[in-house]
Copies of this chain bind each other. A is one copy, B any other.
Amino acid sequence: MREREGERRKRLTRAEQRERTREDLVDAAERRFTRDGFHATSVDQIAAEAGYTKGAVYSNFSSKEDLFFAVYERRAQRAMDEAHEAIADAGPFEGLNRLSQAAMRRRDADDGWLAVFFEFWAHAIRHPEHRARFAAIHGRAQEPFVAAVERFGEERGATAPVPPDKLTAAVMAMMIGLSLERLTRPALVDPELASELGGLVLEHMHTGGGEKRDADRTTAHVRRRRASRA
């Protein structure tokens, strides 16, 4: 890694060198984190994989978490660009459709990232100094979907009883919960079920909720909620 594509490092200015080191480290961190997880990957291993030592890491990042955030931010940005493009190209319906299909196609290849993402999420819950930054990226990554849900409602001419950001968060949380389950008990999760339930919820929330249904077909949960309002 001391040379890259035959190009001698010596030719680089200090700022370029630093930038290249940063990129090398983020690349190596992404490979190792997704392969082995956050805790199981040591800072030494990442540095070695990139062709440096720990000193390079701590001179470019303030902590192991900061390095992970660099990976996360890059991945989130790419996903947002992809989502924005799909929705701008094909509108909210077909855009979400395409994104959902693409995610399904990538499913197994993304398991490593998904695993480390959950691991770091759990880590962030316990460490207030990282929680806000995690929540910020996680929230920003959902913005294209919130926008799509808004347009979905507009094109339907229906307003959901829940604001679009909360509705989007709920639907995505559902997908995420199913992904988490799939990593532990793969046979139990039908991949099509996830996207069908997502669609169901979205639809339901834009057709007046359960209020058009007759009482017999209402679940205990919903009935209890109505009772507690009265």
Contact = CB atoms under 8 A, between A and B. Distances in A.
A75 interface: no
Question: What 5 A-B pairs have minimum CB-CB distances, sorted nearest first?
Answer: A177-B177, A199-B221, A199-B219, A173-B177, A119-B122
Copies in the complex: 2
Interface stretch (A13-21, A34-42, A48-56, A62-70): A34-42
A88 interface: no
Q: Which of A175, A177, A184 has the most CB of B within 10 A?
A: A177
A193 interface: yes
B222 A203 contact: yes
Interface of A: 36-37, 39-40, 93-94, 96-97, 100-101, 115, 118-119, 121-126, 131, 134-135, 138-139, 162, 165-166, 169-170, 172-178, 180-181, 183-185, 188-190, 192-204, 207, 210, 217-222, 224-225
Given A115-B122, A118-B122, A185-B139, A221 B196 contact: yes
A contact face: mostly helix, strand, loop, or mixed: helix
B173 A220 contact: no
12 contacts: A37-B126, A40-B126, A115-B125, A119-B125, A121-B180, A138-B185, A169-B185, A173-B180, A196-B225, A199-B219, A203-B217, A203-B219
B169 A173 contact: no
Contact of A220 (B192, B199, B221): B199
Contacts of A197: 170, 174, 201
B225 A185 contact: no
Contacts of A180: 121, 173, 176-177, 180
A185 B196 CA distance: 25
